Amino acid sequence: MLETKDKAFRKKMLVEMAPRRSSDRIAIKAQQKEEEDKQVEIEKQQEKERLAEERKQEAEAKEKERAILAERRQR
């Protein structure tokens, strides 16, 4: 949340401080940076989801193994 506010503040400051003739270039760069940041956040979220799925699958495999071992012990 703070990162988002900080990014918005930095973007606002860049646009306000720039002279008119260079403000377009700065605005374009700021927009590109924002898009890159969004892409990085998406990639981080996808990585978290992938890791969570891997952990879930590992837990399921361990549970199946425990069930098999418990069944063997009962015999």
Domain residue spans of the chain: 33-74
Cα gap 17→30, rounded to integer Å: 13
Q: What is the pLDDT of residue 3?
A: 79
Alpha helices of the chain — where are they, by DSSP H?
Answer: 2-17, 20-74
Single pTM value for the model: 0.55
The pLDDT tens digits of the residues spanning 1-59 come to 777 877 787 777 766 665 566 778 888 999 999 999 999 999 999 999 999 999 999 99
Q: Indicate the pLDDT class of residue 69, thresholds 50, 70 and 90.
A: very high
Task: Please list, in sequence order, all residues whose beta carbon lies within 8 angstroms of the beta carbon of residue 21, skipping any fewer than 6 positions away.
Answer: none
User: Is 63's pLDDT higher than 70?
Assistant: yes
